[in-house]
Structure 1
Amino acid sequence: MKLAFCGTPEFAVPTLEAVIAAGHEVALVVTQPDRAAGRGLEVNVPPVKEAALKHGLRVMQPEKVKNNAELRAQLEGIAPDAILVVAYGRIIPQWMLELPRFGNINLHGSLLPKYRGAAPIQWAVACGEVVTGVTTMRLDAGLDTGDMLLAAVCPVGQEETAVDVYGCLAPLGAELMVETLKRLEAGTICPEVQDHSLATLAPILKREDGLIDFSRTAQQIYDRWRGFQPWPGAHTTLRGKKLIVAKMRVCSGRSVAQGELLVDGELMLVGCGGGTVAELLEVQMEGKKRMSAAEFLRGYQVKSGERLGL
């Protein structure tokens, strides 16, 4: 097929590589603009752009898409059989949806209709799912509401973070997209309408999502910590200052009041909802270095009975 490819982060690169390896012609790659980030304002180049340039592909980086006459002229001139959309980060306008004969094919990082939205992988882990996956779907004007084409399942280990699950889903999704294109061309796919009553949302992550609520159980807090790696992570306050929880686990067989610390030798335990307890393994005071619990307890002279989140 002749394709256009819209994608931005590392998650999208395996799919781009896979469709090229499968013999498809990628006539245009559309990705977000380079961005200055960090204290030194170094320019970050989207991973998809880097991959595209290695293959000598034409790249466009429009700031806006909806009313972009240059992009529209380029795509209409190419007349792609399909436009592939993988974590592009922009809403696809109606004129793009209507352009290719096979439509705009999106690789979504969940088993739809669950976890529609910008952060499906993170929210699936944060909600304690033991299975997730990827779905190819035909985009429509709604938020991940289009007809499903194919899906593939990936188990989620009890200690895996969102970063680990990304590592599973990116290559799995690449294989699924190649299979989807093959079957679309052969006419052997029967698009399936989503059951909208089963939909859940996975909105873009905010800094405050990382704030620990100790009324949740230790398992729920731990799942959110796993899901929100590498950002926004998990944080609370101690002595009025931000305390980042860099590593933690659920602790059984102990009893601690909710939000209260229990220091037991080199162990740093905190009471959570439902009488459950979490162990803080590595922490970091804002602006300070990351430390093991033992180092932190010694350095800050933390005592049992101190409270977190105040």
Structure 2
Amino acid sequence: MRVVFWGTPDFAVESLKKLIESKHQVVAVVTQPDKPKGRGKKLTPPPVKVLAKQHGIPVFQPEKVKNNKELYQTLKKLKPDIFVVVAYGKILPEEIINLPKYKTINVHASLLPEYRGAAPIHRAIMEGKEKTGVCIMEITKELDAGDIYKCTEIPITERDDILSLHDKLAKAGAELLLEVLDSIEKGNITKKPQEHAKATYAKPITKEEGKIDWGKSAREIFNQIRALKVWPKAFTEFRDKQIKILDSQVLDESSEGTAGQIVEIIKGKGFVVQTGKGKILIKKVQFPSSKPISADDAVKGYHIKPGEKLK
């Protein structure tokens, strides 16, 4: 099939790779405009653009998609059989969705109708889910509400964080995408409507959500830390400075005491903090204007002692 691929971040790269390696023909890629990044604010291309250019695939980076007649005509001339959308970052208008022969499908990182929206991977971890997955669905006007072609489940383990789960879902989504595309082409797949009454929404992550409330349970804080490891990173106040907590481990889930108090130093591992319910071992931290360090090194370098408090 002649495919136009819509995607922007790293999550979409795996699907584009699989498509390029497949029997299908990627005739164009649509991605977000280059954006300034880093201290020097250097214009940086999206990961999907970088991969497309490496393979000589035409790339379009429209500032807007809605009411963009030029983009519509350009896409129409490509005679696409299907549009594939993977974390593109903008909502497509109906005239674009319905342009190809087989319309437009989306790779979404949740078990729909659960976690429609922008941050399904983060929310699944933060809310302590034991499993998540990827669904291939047909895009409709309503956000992530289209009929589903196929889904696959992925377990969320204790060791998973936003990075590992992101990569697992990206790979699973890419493999499922090819299965679905082949089945659509052969005409031997049927769509199933979502159970809209069971829909939940994964709203975008805000910076404020990184603030740790030590009155919550050890489990909730552990989930927050691993879900927000990339951005905004979980943070707390220590000695009147904001520090980031990058890695942790639940030690127990029932003990009670003064929430936020450092209750123990475990040599070679880090320091233990009492939460509203249970204790949590802090394993990696980042102090202001410093690189991430092990909590064990922080104990030694900053002379952290039991009785001190995180706020």
Q: Normalization by structure 2: what TM-score?
A: 0.93
SS of equivalent to 2:182 = helix
CA separation of 1:97 and 1:265: change in aligned 2, threshold 3 A: closer
What is the Cα deviation at residue 234 of structure 1? 0.9
Between the aligned partners of 1:30 and 1:80, the Cα distance in structure 2 is 13
Could you say if the C-alpha distance between residues 291 and 53 of structure 1 is closer, same or farther in structure 2, counting changes exceeding 3 Å?
A: closer
Find 1:283's aligned residue among 279, 282, 285: 285
Could you list the per-position Cα deviations for residues 245-269 of structure 1 after superposition, in whole angstroms to 9, with x for gaps in the alignment?
1221111386542122224364422
Amino acid at match of 1:219: R
Ranges in structure 2 where 5+ consecutive residues have no aligned partner: none
User: 1:71: which partner in 2?
Assistant: 71
Task: List per-residue Cα deviations over 1:132-160 (Å, max 9, x = no partner).
Answer: 11100001111111111111121222111
Quote the residue 1:60 is aligned against.
Answer: 60
| 8 Å contact from structure 1 (residues 159, 226) kept in 2 | no
Equivalent position of 2:306 in the other structure: 304
> Structure 2 vs 1, CA of residues 26 and 291 (structure 1 numbering), >3 Å: closer, same or farther?
closer
SS at match of 1:144: coil
Q: Which runs of 5+ in 1 are unaligned?
A: none
Deviates more, 1:117-126 or 1:14-23: 14-23
Aligned length: 308
Structure 2 vs 1, CA of residues 254 and 273 (structure 1 numbering), >3 Å: closer, same or farther? closer
Matched residue, 2:258: 257
Give the aligned residue type for 1:286. P
Aligned-residue RMSD, C-alpha: 1.7
| Cα distance in 1 between the residues matched to 2:256 and 2:276 | 11
Of 267, 270, 274, which aligns to 2:273? Answer: 270
The alignment status of 1:123 with 2:128, answered yes or no, reads no
Question: Within 2, Cα distance between the matches of 1:265 and 1:105?
Answer: 51
Give the percent of matched residue pairs that are identical in Structure 1 and Structure 2: 39
- Equivalent residues in 2 for 1:189-204, closer than 5 Å: 189-204=189-204
Instruction: Determine the C-alpha separation between the residues in 2 that align with 1:216 and 1:205.
Output: 19
C-alpha distance in structure 2 between counterparts of 1:211 and 1:101, whole Å: 47
Determine the C-alpha separation between the residues in 2 that align with 1:206 and 1:174.
Answer: 28
> Where does residue 297 of structure 2 map in the other structure?
295
**Separation of aligned partners in 2, 1:6 and 1:265:** 49
CA contact (8 A) 1:246 1:284 kept: yes
Take 2:18 and 2:275, find their aligned partners in 1: how far apart are those partners?
Answer: 45
Give 1:91-240 correspondences, 5 Å limit. Answer: 91-240=91-240
